[in-house]
Structure 1
Amino acid sequence: MKIGQIDLGERPVMLAPMEDVTDHSFRLICKEQGADMVYTEFVSADALIRNISATTRKLHINPAERPTAIQIYGRETEPMVEAAKIVEEAAPDILDINFGCPVKKVAGKGAGAGMLRDIPKMLEITRAVVNAVKLPVTVKTRLGWDHDSRIIVELAEQLQDCGIQALTVHGRTRAQMYNGEADWEMIARVKENPRLHIPVIGNGDITIPQKALEAFTRYGVDGVMVGRASIGAPWVFHDIKQLLVNGSTDNQLSTAEKFSLLRRQITESIANIDEHRGILHIRRHLAASPLFKGIPHFRDTRIAMLRADTWDELDRILQHIEADIIPAFMNNTSTHYT
């Protein structure tokens, strides 16, 4: 699969853009684990042109994480064009436009998935951004605003006509948010359209390697994008690539290796910010990690882990979980432990 001149190989797997998740440290870890391309946190066009430091920091790219896409969002054409030019100076491999974020503070103001209620404006912005930069421009969006306006097949053609070079489709409407199951049949209809020639990347509910394989073999997409399943589990890319490339998931990381990755996330988060805010930033990963799911009587330990204020305190809790709680759990259950 190619986006412009960027060759991502056969069956590429990508890290989705996620606010307060896909910082440069996490992107690099996911890349090392097998992600073929990574996306930044989405960047507000308005904040970028106002030179807000918290936003401009999101443009930093580590050469080792490439290829990297920077994603922008906004609701007006002129600021989006200006932001696109600023992003181009940061030299990502791809510029992606966010027409899919469903959260109220974005979509409710007409940006992100809010654009699905104003298709002429969406197309105007897309065409203007494509014409403003030399980077390959791509789009990420949803099936439609709600069940009665699932317009993605027609919309994909319109976006292609604007000059985008790949399209990522999340298999839900904005009204669904992240509820229910992603509709991969609709994503397949986009891909099956004989008038569509750009790569189609499928997104939604890729939580295990088998679902990634099904996305390629049953639904025919050119690439898949993994989002929430990577939070607290960057090794999901390792497992998916093992199945796609080697046909097996037998060669999984050990529990010790997974704990090592989580510790690396914590220490790098602290180094990039400071101890207090770095730990706050990483709590989302700890709360979501499958390493701690299914362990009985874990509530008090989980609360202590998520309330830890210092690295020393948090590390002591992690050592206790790794050395005592998980081995005891594994010895007392026949259930496979991820």
Structure 2
Amino acid sequence: MKIGKIETGAEPLLLAPMEDVTDVAFRLLCKRFGADLVYTEFLSADALIRQVAGTTRKLTIDPEERPVAIQIYGREVEPMVEAARIAEAAGPELLDLNFGCPVKRVAGKGAGSGMLRCPDLMLRIVSEVVKAVKIPVTVKTRLGWDNESKIIVELAEALQDCGIQALTIHGRTRAQMYTGSADWSLIGAVKNNPRMHIPIIGNGDITSGEEVRRAFNDYGVDAVMIGRATIGQPWVFEQMKHYLKTGEQLPPREKTFYVDILRELVDNNIRKLDERRGILHSRRHIAASPIFKGIDHFRPVRIAMLQASTREALFAEIARAEAMLLASEAQGA
């Protein structure tokens, strides 16, 4: 796949932008395990313009994570143009515009997937942003607002006409949020539209190598974007890449390897933020990680890990969890 001057190779896997998940420490781990392109957390155009510290901090890019896309969202033309210029100055390879976030505090105010109710305004924003920056502009969106307004096939053509250089489609409507199943048939309809010539990236319900292979084979997408399946397990990229190449599952590593990755994530977050915020940023990954699933009487330890407020306390609980994990494995053997 090629976007502007970026070459990702064949059948690339992308890390989806996720609020409070895809900070720089996590992006670096995903990159190490094989992600071909990573995206920042989505950034509010208004907050960038006001120079809100928590938002401007998310513009930080590590050289080792490139290529990287910065994603912004908003609901008005002028602020989005100004924010696009601010984001471009941070030095990403791509600028992505979020018209897909379904959460109420974003979509309910007309931004994110709320733009699917105002496609003309969406297209004006896209056209002006494309003119305002020199780096490639891409878009991430959904099928439509609800089941009665799945406009993605026509919208994709219009977005392409505005000058975007790639389009990511999450296979749900805004009304679905994250319920039900992603409809990849409409993603395929966009990709197979003979009038489309930009890369089409599919997103939604991809959790395994088999599903990645099916997305490429059955729907012809140029890339697959992985979102929630990466939380707490950045190594899924390695597993999926192995399946794409061999058609076989990657043999699992020792469980201690995965525990050490969680420790590394915590340390990286602490180093790039501070102890308090680094631990807070790590909690979602610790909570979601499948490493400790199935261990008897594990709930109190899990709660203690999520309540720990210092590195020393958190690492003590992780060590306790690791001991329980190894004991459980020994019993199973």
Q: TM above 0.5, one fold?
A: yes
Look up the match of 2:42.
42
Cα drift, residue 156 of structure 1: 0.6
Look up the match of 1:185.
185
Q: Does 1:94 align with 2:94?
A: yes
Q: Does 1:200 align with 2:218?
A: no
Q: Is residue 216–residue 222 contact of structure 1 (8 Å, CA) maintained in 2? A: yes
For 1:120-269, list aligned pairs within 5 A: 120-269=120-269
Which is further off, 98-107 or 180-189? 180-189
Cα drift, residue 147 of structure 1: 0.8
Total equivalences in the alignment: 333
Cα drift, residue 272 of structure 1: 2.1
Cα drift, residue 209 of structure 1: 1.5
Q: Take 2:252 and 2:120, find their aligned partners in 1: how far apart are those partners?
A: 47
Q: Take 1:192 and 1:125, find their aligned partners in 2: how far apart are those partners?
A: 26
Q: Take 1:183 and 1:296, find their aligned partners in 2: how far apart are those partners?
A: 37
Q: Which amino acid in structure 1 is aligned with residue 329 of structure 2?
A: M
Cα drift, residue 298 of structure 1: 1.8
Q: Is residue 242–residue 251 contact of structure 1 (8 Å, CA) maintained in 2? A: no
Secondary structure, in 3 states, of the residue corresponding to 1:172? coil
Q: Does 1:25 align with 2:25?
A: yes
Task: Using structure 1 for the length normalisation, give the TM-score.
Answer: 0.96
Q: Which amino acid in structure 2 is aligned with residue 148 of structure 1?
A: E
Secondary structure, in 3 states, of the residue corresponding to 1:134? coil
- Structure 2: unaligned runs, 5 residues or longer: none
Q: Take 2:213 and 2:150, find their aligned partners in 1: how far apart are those partners?
A: 25
Q: Which amino acid in structure 2 is aligned with residue 89 of structure 1?
A: A
Q: Take 2:181 and 2:332, find their aligned partners in 1: how far apart are those partners?
A: 30
Q: Take 1:43 and 1:256, find their aligned partners in 2: how far apart are those partners?
A: 35
- Structure 1: unaligned runs, 5 residues or longer: none
Cα shift readout 1:48-96 (whole Å, capped 9, x = no counterpart): 1111121111111111100000001000000101111111111100000
Q: Is residue 127–residue 162 contact of structure 2 (8 Å, CA) maintained in 1? A: yes
Look up the match of 1:11.
11
Q: Take 2:117 and 2:178, find their aligned partners in 1: how far apart are those partners?
A: 19
Cα shift readout 1:271-292 (whole Å, capped 9, x = no counterpart): 2222222212211111111112
Secondary structure, in 3 states, of the residue corresponding to 2:148? helix
Q: Take 1:177 and 1:255, find their aligned partners in 2: how far apart are those partners?
A: 34
Look up the match of 1:319.
319
Secondary structure, in 3 states, of the residue corresponding to 1:149? coil
Q: Is residue 166–residue 198 contact of structure 1 (8 Å, CA) maintained in 2? A: yes
Q: Take 1:293 and 1:124, find their aligned partners in 2: how far apart are those partners?
A: 47
Task: Using structure 2 for the length normalisation, give the TM-score.
Answer: 0.97
Look up the match of 1:108.
108
Q: Which amino acid in structure 1 is aligned with residue 291 of structure 2?
A: L
Q: Does 1:300 align with 2:300?
A: yes
Look up the match of 1:329.
328
Q: Which amino acid in structure 2 is aligned with residue 327 of structure 1?
A: L
Secondary structure, in 3 states, of the residue corresponding to 2:249? coil
Q: Take 1:219 and 1:298, find their aligned partners in 2: how far apart are those partners?
A: 41
Cα drift, residue 249 of structure 1: 2.2
Which is further off, 170-179 or 293-302? 293-302
Cα drift, residue 332 of structure 1: 4.4
Cα drift, residue 182 of structure 1: 0.9
Secondary structure, in 3 states, of the residue corresponding to 2:280? helix
Cα drift, residue 247 of structure 1: 3.0
Q: Take 1:175 and 1:333, find their aligned partners in 2: how far apart are those partners?
A: 44
Which is further off, 222-231 or 251-260? 251-260
Cα shift readout 1:267-319 (whole Å, capped 9, x = no counterpart): 11122222222212211111111112233332112111111122122112211
Q: Take 1:91 and 1:313, find their aligned partners in 2: how far apart are those partners?
A: 37
- Aligned Cα root-mean-square deviation (Å): 1.3
Cα drift, residue 250 of structure 1: 2.6
Q: Is residue 238–residue 252 contact of structure 1 (8 Å, CA) maintained in 2? A: no
Look up the match of 1:272.
272
Q: Take 1:38 and 1:211, find their aligned partners in 2: how far apart are those partners?
A: 20
